[in-house]
Chains A and B, each alone.
Chain A
Amino acid sequence: MRRISIVVLLVLAVPALAAGSTKDVKLALVAYSTPKDAYTKIIPAFEKTAAGRGVGFSQSYGASGEQARAVVQGLPADVIELSLAPDVTTLVQSHLVSPSWDKNAYHGIVTRSVVVFVVRSGNTKHVRTWNDLLRPGVQVVTPNPFTSGGARWNVMAAYGGALRAGKTPKQAIAYLTELFKKHVVAQPSSAREALQTFLSGKGDVLLSYENEAILAKNKGQSINWVAPKATILIENPIAVTSTTKHAPQAKAFVKFLYTAQAQSLFAETGYRPVLKSVQKKFHFTSPKQLFTIGYVGGWTKVQKKFFDPNSSVMATIERSLGG
C-alpha cells in the first residue's frame, strides 16, 4: 500500500517538476487575499506575452498585514500587492521596497474599490446613508479594525462620510462611537470572516468593499449592495521589491498589470480599474461625494490617530464597550 502511494506521488510530481523547469525565471508574487481570483487569469495572460515568455510564478495570498510581516521576516518576494499603503510602508521601513515606490503615473496603485453597504436582498431596512446605520434596530457587521487592516477602510469611510455630511471632526468621532457601541453586533477578524458572519444571517448591513460584494454576488449569494453617496475610494498598492533578483521580469509584470487587458481582468473580478479607457467599459456607480484617504488626513496620520492599539480613537471606542 505504502509503495503504491509513493509511486503515485512520483508520477504526480515528475510532470510538475518538468513543467517548472521549462521556466527560466520564477517570480514570487506575495499578495493579500482578494486579488487571487484575478491573478489566476492575469498570470496566464502575461505568460503569453513576449515579456512574459519563460517567466513562472510562485504565488502567496493571505491577510495584507500578515503578508507584509512575512516578507519582513524573509519570505522571498519579487512583487507585492497589498490591501493598504501602510503595509507597504512596513516594507519600506525594512528597506525591502524603495521609498519612491509610489512615484509613478498611478501612485503605486493597481486597483481600486469603494466601501459599500452589503445588505440582504430587497434591502428591507432601506439603508442608503451613513445616518441610516444609526436608526434603531439596525445591526451592522464590520471586521475588527485591529485584527483586519482592510477594515480600516470601513472605519475611515464612516468617519469621512460623517464629515461629508457636515459634521465636525468631533461629531464624526461621536458618530463612530455610537455606531460601534450600539449597532456593530459582531467584529469578525477578517473581511472574509465578516462576509461569512453576514451570510450566516447576522446583521442587516455588512460594511465591505465593492469588489467583495461583486465576487459574493457572482458566486450566487443572495445579497445586494448600496454605495453610500459619501464613501472612500479604496486604493490597493503594488510594488517591486528592492531585493528582487529578477527586476526586469518583475517590472515587466507590473507594467503588464496596467495594460487594458489586465485591468479588464481585474474589473471582471469586481475591482475598479485605474485605467480610464477600461473604466468606460464597465459600469461602476460613481458616488457623488467620493473621497480618498487624503481627505481624512492620509494614512500616516490616520494610523496613529485612529488605530494605535494603546491610545487612539478606535482603541478608546473599543474600550468604551466595556461600559
Chain B
Amino acid sequence: MAEFAQFSGTDRYIADEALMASVNAALVLERPLLVKGEPGTGKTLLAHAVAETLGRPLYSWHVKSTTKAEEGLYTYDVVQRLNDSRFGDADVSNIRNYIKYGPVGLAFDSDEPVVLLIDEVDKADIEFPNDLLRELDEMAFTVRELEETVRAKQRPLVIITSNAEKELPDAFLRRCVFHFIDFPDRERMERIVHVHLPTLGPDLMKAALDRFFAFRKVAGLRKPPSTSELVDWLTVLVASGLDPASITEGDPFLGVLFKGEADLAAAVDKRRGRKSW
C-alpha cells in the first residue's frame, strides 16, 4: 500500500483509516470521491486538506440551487459581446474572448494536476449530477460555440460533497468512490479540538466536551451541534476567559452551539432537568 498512500491527513486535519483508503482509492482508480456526512463534520475541509497534502492547487465550485451543470464548464457571455459590438471597441469577431471557463473548465485546462471540489452537489436540481456524468467520466467537454473539445491536460482529483438533501442518481453513485464522515467519537474529537486550539487547557476541554456530548443526546434537536460549532464555542469560551467550572453550571454562550430558537430552548430545558419536547 505504501506507494499509493499519498494522503494521510495534515497537521490541521485528522483523517482516519477509512478516509485515507477512500482518498487513495479515488486517486488510483481516477474516480470522483463522493463525501457525505452531517453538516459541520469537515467535508469541505477535507478537500482543502487533500489538496494541501498532495501539493495541488484547489479549484472550488460551490453549487447553489440555481446552478446549472454547464456553468461549471464554461459560459458564453453573449450580453457582453452584444454590448461590445454596439458600444465597445473589443474584438467581437473572436467568440473566444467571450468564453469563460468555470471551475471544471479551469481544472481541465490547468497544466499541473489539481484537486477539483464540487461542493454541496445536492443543492442543485435533481438532474444536475447526471448532467456532469459524461464530462467527469471522460474528463472532456465540448465548447459548442467554438466546436472545440477541452480535454483535461492532467486528470484532476474530483471531490464531491453532499449533505444528502437530495437523492443522487444511481448512475452517478456507481462511478464514485463513497466516503461517509462519521461523527467523531470523544477521543477523536479531542484530537480535532487540539488541532484547532492547541493551547486549550485540559480542564476546559473536559468540561466543554462533557457538555457538548450531553447536548448532542438531547432528543428532538433539529440540528445537533457539530464539530465546527464546538470549535467556535470553545474559541469564545477561551476568549472570555471563563473558569472551566462555570461551563458545567452556567452553560454560557449556548447561542454559538445552537442555531435554532427551538433547539436552544430544548437545550436550556435539558439543563434545568426538565424533559424536553
**Chains A and B belong together in one complex:** no
Binding site for A on B (CB under 8 A): none
Binding site for B on A (CB under 8 A): none
